[in-house]
Amino acid sequence: MRKIIFFALLAISATMAMAQINPKSGIIITNSGDTIRGNIDFRSNEALAKECRFWAEGESDGKTYKPGDIEGFRFNENGKYFVTRKLNVTGTPELYFAEFMVKGKMNLYCVANSYDEYFFFEREDGEMAQLTNRAVFSSSTLQDEQDRISEKKEQYGKVKFLLKDSWTAIEDMGQTDMSRKKLVNVVRDYHKDVCTDGSTCVVYEYNEKSEKAKCYLKAFAGFAYYSTDKTEMQDLVGVNYPIGTFEIGIGFETDIERWIKGGSMEIGVAFSPKVVSEHDEFVIGGFGIPSHTVYKKGRFYGALGVVKRFVGCKWKLTPLVRGGGFYLKNFGNHETRFYNSNKIVDIVWPNTAHYGVYLGAGVQMAVGKHFARLHADWYKSLESKTIGDMMKWGITAEFGL
């Protein structure tokens, strides 16, 4: 069963990672200075730093440009602007498509690489300083943190020296951590202080609303059938207690279009009211008298995963697949057993739990700015059968706000 789960997850991961495009209108700028309009694949900043996939207007065949093949590219509606620059990101100067953030007496560029952001301040005389915004991971050691602080201290000193002709800009750099917006303001203040020829400082501010991921609050309800549902606390050995129940819940979803076309991350919590499962069994030691066991409990679970919609279909209903992990908590566990009319077992347990993976498939339909979905799902716990096991089949209806 574990191999089945592994290959199922592998298959859905491969499906989600298939080469697909996220086209946005824009232009490329050739090395001769000409501009060509068309569509550019709008991926993550790290991917855009390495290549530009472009489809010229009226053409179905696209072309992939590497840094140096073209001067740069930009998305429409004041979108992100990238230019070819030779920068030292990994220890050796290389060509990148650097995001051009500010142009003036001091230019500001940014290159994303391996979760980190590298900002480059370039004075008009060509002198340059670097400021690295490194991602922080829970696995980072104390030495990693000390190295990061030492690097940042050294880099801040070099940036401030580059800004020495503007006291305002230096004061702006006095903070330990700087956002992209604040770094833009630092460079803009520098230009205002040192510019004597009346030239304009151009801030390539992109339209944040056009890039911002769409987020949805969603409500859902469904029916679930637990074909296997057993924990280590159950007194009747070898009995699964299959049970069906209704579930209701709420969730949150956000698009990840720049990483997976038609993709989104989802998180949700659901609740099942207390349900009752009854089971008749001849029990060893019961002298041939059938027992009647009643099992009561409620459920609460949370799930985190990815949804992949196959957008671009001509149908009104868009197919989708989903998968991820879950954690389920059983509460109010109560088991009673009767021989004839005599109650011989009356057990109340503490809370028990399962964790595992889920896979599903269904369809989605747009309802104005909202959406409605219907999908079937399979949930499987990953615990050892000696301490518990759970398998659930369900069908769920969702509405995204």
Q: Is residue 245 a contact partner of residue 272, using CB atoms and an 8 Å limit?
A: yes
Q: What is the dihedral of CA 169, 174, 175, 181, to 10 degrees?
A: 0
Closest CA to 323 of 371, 380, 269, 364: 380
With cut-offs at 50, 70 and 90, classify the pLDDT of residue 134.
confident
With cut-offs at 50, 70 and 90, classify the pLDDT of residue 346.
confident
Q: What are phi and psi of 54, to 5 degrees?
A: -130, 140
- What is the distance, to the nearest Å, from the Cα of residue 309 to the centroid of all Cα atoms in its chain? 15
Closest CA to 336 of 251, 385, 277, 388: 277
pLDDT per residue over 195-231, tens digit each? 877 777 888 865 555 556 678 899 999 999 988 887 6
List every span in the chain annotated with CATH 2.40.160.20.
Answer: 213-400
Cα–Cα dist 137/262, whole Å: 28
CATH architecture of residue range(s) 213-400:
Beta Barrel (2.40)
pLDDT, position 229: 80
Residue 114 has pLDDT above 70, yes or no: yes
Tell me 317's DSSP state: S
The verdict on pTM exceeding 0.75 is no
Of 123-127, 162-166, 329-333, the one with minimum mean pLDDT is 329-333
- What is the β-pairing status of strands 263-282 and 352-367? unpaired
Task: Supply 161's token pair.
Answer: 């020296």
Task: Supply 136's token pair.
Answer: 């922080």
pLDDT, position 137: 67
Quick count: other Cβ atoms within 10 Å of Cβ 393? 14
Q: Which amino acid would we find at residue 396?
A: T
Residue 73 has pLDDT above 50, yes or no: yes
Cα–Cα dist 119/72, whole Å: 18
Task: Supply 143's token pair.
Answer: 């030495």
Closest CA to 77 of 262, 202, 209, 215: 209
Which residue, chain included where needed, has tokens 């309800």?
A: 221
Quick count: other Cβ atoms within 10 Å of Cβ 257? 19
By CB neighbour count within 10 A (0-12 exposed, 13-18 middle, 19+ buried), where does 252 fall?
middle
Cα–Cα dist 220/222, whole Å: 7
pLDDT, position 265: 94
Cα–Cα dist 311/66, whole Å: 28
- What is the distance, to the nearest Å, from the Cα of residue 168 to the centroid of all Cα atoms in its chain? 38
Q: Which helix H or strand E contains 6, and what residues bound it?
A: helix 2-16
CA distances to 90, 180, 268, 269, 323 from 357, in Å = 37, 38, 14, 15, 7
With cut-offs at 50, 70 and 90, classify the pLDDT of residue 387.
low
Tell me 277's DSSP state: E
Q: What is the dihedral of CA 32, 38, 41, 45, to 10 degrees?
A: 50
Q: Is residue 349 a contact partner of residue 366, using CB atoms and an 8 Å limit?
A: no
Q: What are phi and psi of 248, to 5 degrees?
A: -130, 150
pLDDT per residue over 283-338, tens digit each? 555 556 677 888 888 889 999 999 998 865 556 788 999 999 999 988 888 888 88
pLDDT per residue over 231-252, tens digit each? 666 655 566 677 888 999 999 9
With cut-offs at 50, 70 and 90, classify the pLDDT of residue 15.
very low
With cut-offs at 50, 70 and 90, classify the pLDDT of residue 4.
very low
